[in-house]
Amino acid sequence: MEICSFYSTPYYCIVNVRHDVIGKCLIPYQGKFPILKERRLCSGLDVYSVKKTRKRRRYTIAALKGFDSVDSSLLSESYNSDMVDGKVSTQDVAGRVKSVPKVMIPSLPCETKGDSVAAVESCLWEWKPKLNVHYEKSGCQNVDSAPILFLPGFGVGSFHYEKQLKDLGRDYRIWALDFIGQGKSLPCEDPTSGSKRLDESEGDGNNVLWGFGDEAEPWAKELVYSVDLWRDQVYYFIEEVIKEPVYIVGNSLGGYVALYFAAYYPQLVKGVTLLNATPFWGFLPNPVRSPRLSRLFPWSGTFPLPTKVRKLTELVWQKISAPESIAEVLKQVYADHTTKVDKVFSSILEVTEHPAAAASLASIMFAPRGQLNFKEALTGCRMNNVPVCLIYGKEDPWVMPIWGLQVKRQFPEAPYYQISPAGHCPHDEVPEIVNFLLRGWIRNIESDSSVALPLLDSPESVEYDVVKDLEFVRQGMKKSVEVQFYGSMTSQWERLGKFLKSRFQYGVYSP
């Protein structure tokens, strides 16, 4: 562990002093300086002298000659700061600690400790012939509570919301859906006739891939695993199973479908929460929006798969369905690698072993885009006064923060919470935070905004940015996660200016 101290004026201070991270500092060309025993570095008004000792480096301050505007009284003051493993706490001259407010929130219920958790029930709903929809539900006894429907991301299913089903199911009625063609909502029969084994020399039939036959079965003639199919699936599920308007929460692909559905059927949606929602889906043109362009693509995800697509699918499937490939993807999307993903990993692996999984992937990837893009769906929700909440993991390597901020710019009144550290799946990585925010947001909507949004002191404070540390206990240890709320009145330029100012003020730069 390296502990460093420094002293500087209130205008600017340097904290990144270790030679392996000094290049991250915002001083121009600092990263190009060789590591010497002493080096003088210039900022706008001051000169810093860096002296290296065996145990620490000390930063001293002297006025830069030629600048009459420098207040000499400032030079007699100092800001003391300590950095332990990159974490900084700053004190002013009076010794007051400048820190982010901390808020203690509830932990997840623990069954092993005797905590009460909501019972989760696994169900099947027959939507169409040969197409059974798998879903999980909890909290059915909460008859007067708000209903919430969770939509999964690409490649996963309702199992990814286990922590919401068990926790939020204690207060609300919860459903988590598997999209047709994913999870456990794969067809119960081969959509084509005459599918063959990958290796004809093996006769046990265990390696047969459905959908690789010569002709589509009657029930699968027009089957395509597209966002339009999933939109219709959500519509009939709400109409026939839930039977009342719901709050919809979607992660990644599920967020796209949630917004897409809400734009078409706002009367069935009480509100939409986007968890790192993907801002685009589909590669091929939509036949309704671009009929001429779509005719240039002879295959659009229907069954059976064309011969060339079969060969490509076989090659790709062998690679991405391998356990090591699945493990690598999970490592990418979770910012905190201490998060236990054993259940998620085994559930994904189980889905890949289904004979319809490979052809379903091909259908999804070659399906046409939706009739509305993400921006148009967002506009539709705003025009129909559908409440939208944004909860994004900051360290997502795929849907980076810029995408969430673009949504906030299009929908300025939508509350935006950015969690750090958290990756692409904040509901599974930091479920304590997501569940806390969802509870508070729903209370705000149900009370017609008379109850303040989570982390805000009053309904009026929705206009301003707020940063707080949320603390909770997990497995007997206290954890802390930073959550930033973006207000509705702060412009993107103002927010960028505050960001740069904070970096110059405290000398901390983090990508």
pLDDT (0 to 100) of residue 497 = 65
Q: Which range has the worst mean pLDDT, 96-105, 185-194, 391-400, 449-458?
A: 96-105
Sheet holding 46-52, edge to edge: 38-42, 46-52, 57-63
The conformation of residue 63, written as its DSSP 8-state character, comes to E
* pLDDT surpassing 80 at residue 16: no
Is residue 450 a contact partner of residue 366, using CB atoms and an 8 Å limit?
A: no
Confidence of residue 466 (pLDDT cuts 50, 70, 90): very high
C-alpha torsion 148→136→366→229, nearest 10: -60
> Considering the chain, what percentage of its residues have pLDDT values greater than 70?
74
Which two three-digit tokens encode residue 9?
């004026």
* pLDDT surpassing 70 at residue 142: yes
* pLDDT surpassing 90 at residue 186: yes
The conformation of residue 116, written as its DSSP 8-state character, comes to -
pLDDT (0 to 100) of residue 207 = 65
What are 417's strand-pairing partners? 391, 485
Total residue length of the chain: 511
The conformation of residue 112, written as its DSSP 8-state character, comes to G
Cβ-proximal residues to 105 (8 Å cutoff; 6+ apart), any chain: 432, 433, 436, 470, 471, 472
pLDDT (0 to 100) of residue 118 = 97
β-pair type (466-474, 477-486) = antiparallel
Is residue 417 a contact partner of residue 453, using CB atoms and an 8 Å limit?
A: no
Phi, psi (5° rounding) for residue 493?
A: -70, -40
pLDDT (0 to 100) of residue 111 = 85
Q: Which range has the worst mean pLDDT, 45-54, 299-308, 398-407, 424-433?
A: 45-54
Q: Identify the residue with better confidence: 361 or 79.
A: 361
Confidence of residue 154 (pLDDT cuts 50, 70, 90): very high
* pLDDT surpassing 50 at residue 468: yes
Q: Identify the residue with better confidence: 58 or 457.
A: 457
C-alpha torsion 442→447→450→451, nearest 10: -40
Confidence of residue 203 (pLDDT cuts 50, 70, 90): very low
Which two three-digit tokens encode residue 333?
């999307």
- 54, exposed or middle or buried, with CB in 10 Å at 0-12, 13-18, 19+? exposed
pLDDT (0 to 100) of residue 460 = 80
Full-model pTM: 0.78
Cβ-proximal residues to 223 (8 Å cutoff; 6+ apart), any chain: 191, 216, 229, 302, 303, 363
Phi, psi (5° rounding) for residue 115?
A: -70, 150
pLDDT (0 to 100) of residue 491 = 66
Residue type present at position 321: S
pLDDT (0 to 100) of residue 84 = 36
* pLDDT surpassing 70 at residue 332: yes
Confidence of residue 61 (pLDDT cuts 50, 70, 90): very low
pLDDT in tens, 425-461: 999 999 999 999 999 999 999 999 999 999 998 888 8
β-pair type (147-151, 246-251) = parallel
| Whole-number CA gyration radius for the chain | 27
Range 297-306 average pLDDT: 93
pLDDT (0 to 100) of residue 500 = 60
Q: Identify the residue with better confidence: 176 or 464.
A: 176
pLDDT (0 to 100) of residue 493 = 67
- 450, exposed or middle or buried, with CB in 10 Å at 0-12, 13-18, 19+? exposed
Compute the mean pLDDT over every residue in the chain, rounded to the nearest whole number: 81
pLDDT in tens, 64-110: 333 343 333 333 333 333 333 333 344 443 444 446 789 999 999 98
β-pair type (416-420, 477-486) = antiparallel
Query: Rounded distance, CA 431 to CA 42, Å?
Result: 45
Q: Which range has the worst mean pLDDT, 186-200, 296-310, 337-351, 476-490?
A: 186-200
β-pair type (173-177, 215-216) = unpaired
Is residue 274 a contact partner of residue 393, using CB atoms and an 8 Å limit?
A: no
* pLDDT surpassing 70 at residue 494: no
Helix H, strand E, coil C: the string for 440-503 is HHHHHHHCCCCCCCCCCCCHHHHHCCEEEEEEEEECCEEEEEEEEEECCCCCHHHHHHHHHHHH
* pLDDT surpassing 50 at residue 243: yes
pLDDT (0 to 100) of residue 37 = 37
Phi, psi (5° rounding) for residue 394?
A: -70, -35
